[in-house]
Amino acid sequence: MDEIEKGFEALMKKIEKSHENEKALTVQLKENDANLLKKMAVSSLSVVKIVGLNMLKMGKQDTKGEIYDPAYYPQKMIILGKSEPVAFRPDNPSKTVTDQFCVLSSEGDFFELMYSFDGFLTDSYLNPIDARKALDQYGYDVMFMLYRAMKDYLQGEEKLLDSLETVIGYVFAKKA
């Protein structure tokens, strides 16, 4: 019985040690998550240029809801997340926000793309944000979406993608 108890005690110590390591990794990841997102953005510039979209800046809507006379932002962007819209736009407090997205531009900048609709005109405001605010406002989904875009379209960076897969897997791991 002593052998079993010793083995059980050793196993319990290993489990406690792994929990301590996990907590340390979690703290380290939280301290560096914005830096990781910034570096991912830089690494994915070619992806944004290839698959990014020219997002609607402004357009008029007819009675059927179709946009006509559209104007688009000049840089390409990919959408990384969506959140509940804020009450009003920072550039014009009289305009309510109907839709709000986190986007990454082809220059590697993060923005909140805020759309307003007054019944006739759909227009938007491109609010610059940093990686920290992107994570705070939209959660780790932005990191996951950027990783997925990189995985699907980034060529010749298998080591980078494998490393990111490990980190993203850790971030999104489900607790048992």
CA distance 53 to 67: 17
pLDDT < 50 positions in the chain: 174-176
Q: What is the pLDDT of residue 175?
A: 43
Q: Which residues contact 62 (CB under 8 A, 6 or more apart)?
A: 68
pTM of the model: 0.74
Q: What is the pLDDT of residue 144?
A: 84
CA distance 126 to 113: 5
CA distance 174 to 155: 29
Three-class SS state of 88: strand
